[in-house]
Amino acid sequence: MPLTVRVDALAETERLVRRLAPHAAPGDVIGLCGPLGSGKTAFARAFIRARLGRPVEEVPSPTFTLVQLYEHEAGAIWHFDLYRLSAPEDAYELGIEDAFAGAISLIEWPEKLGVMMPADWLEVRLAPGEDEEARLITITPHGPRGEALAAALARDLEPDP
């Protein structure tokens, strides 16, 4: 079942990401979907900062490099921006199979991978909201690991009794 969350500001998106990040593990794939300007890169930046657990001065968008790698003792994070990818097979040149095998993969524009996208992943769809920073974020699991991540996030978002 998809989980849909409305956020009114970037700070709320960052809080949501801080709840998701600790549950991710090497081998997890998180696909960031949505139109240009919907907040995919902001989500990825917040995830990287939360996951690394320390201030990261620069988290550049990989729009032109297509991939950025962040090393951490708990596992590497590979941040892909596939907007400019010509063909799915071109992702092999970026080392995507290495990322899938042993890192957390954040993938902007995962639809560009077509059948190369693994069966087990977490889809994060961002849509612009009513205000400039507002977003409608829909989390859809694909496969057992995607389901585990979505369930952990849903539990963390439940109000305290």
Among candidates 83, 82, 77, which has minimal Cα distance to 106?
77
pLDDT in tens, the chain (161 residues): 789 999 999 899 999 999 999 999 999 999 999 999 899 999 999 999 898 876 655 666 666 578 888 888 888 999 999 998 989 999 999 999 999 999 999 999 999 999 999 999 999 999 988 888 899 999 999 999 999 999 999 998 877 55
How far apart (Å, rounded) are the C-alpha atoms in residues 6 and 134?
Answer: 7
How far apart (Å, rounded) are the C-alpha atoms in residues 100 and 29?
Answer: 7
- The class that CATH gives domain 3-84+94-156 is alpha beta
